[in-house]
Amino acid sequence: MHYWMNSDPVERLVRKAVEFDVPVQVHISTSNSAQGSFTSGTEEVHDFLALVQRVPEARYILAHFVGSPRSNPTVVEGYLDIIDRELGGYHP
């Protein structure tokens, strides 16, 4: 991605999704590697969580959030740990 989710334009877009009662699909790197404007998937997760703080009433779908086959720990475990620390939990 070449834009930040934690931004005024994306906040307006997500608020419009709330108004229409539709979820927002978010893509996070499956390999925790750099892409677009981000140095890692971890940075993408933090950017996403800042958007969640701006629009907590939105419903978010985290596409491809399962991560790549890398294990011990898997990529998604690190992402879920971040969400757990930042938000105090996540929907199972």
Angle formed at CA 4 by CA 92 and CA 71, multiple of 5 degrees: 45
Residue 3 located in a structural domain: no
Count of the separate structural domains present in the chain: 1
Which of 8, 82, 90 is closest to 45 using CA atoms? Answer: 82
Each residue's pLDDT tens digit, 32-78: 788 888 888 889 999 999 999 999 999 999 877 666 666 667 788 88
Q: Dig out the tokens for 75 from the structure.
A: 């990529």
Angle formed at CA 81 by CA 77 and CA 82, multiple of 5 degrees: 120
Q: What is the pLDDT of residue 63?
A: 79
Domain limits for position 54: 8-87
Residue 38 located in a structural domain: yes
Q: What is the pLDDT of residue 79?
A: 84
Q: Which residue has the higher pLDDT, 63 or 90?
A: 63
Q: What is the pLDDT of residue 33?
A: 81
Q: What is the pLDDT of residue 62?
A: 83
- The pLDDT-based confidence of 21 (bands split at 50, 70, 90) is very high
Residue 17 located in a structural domain: yes
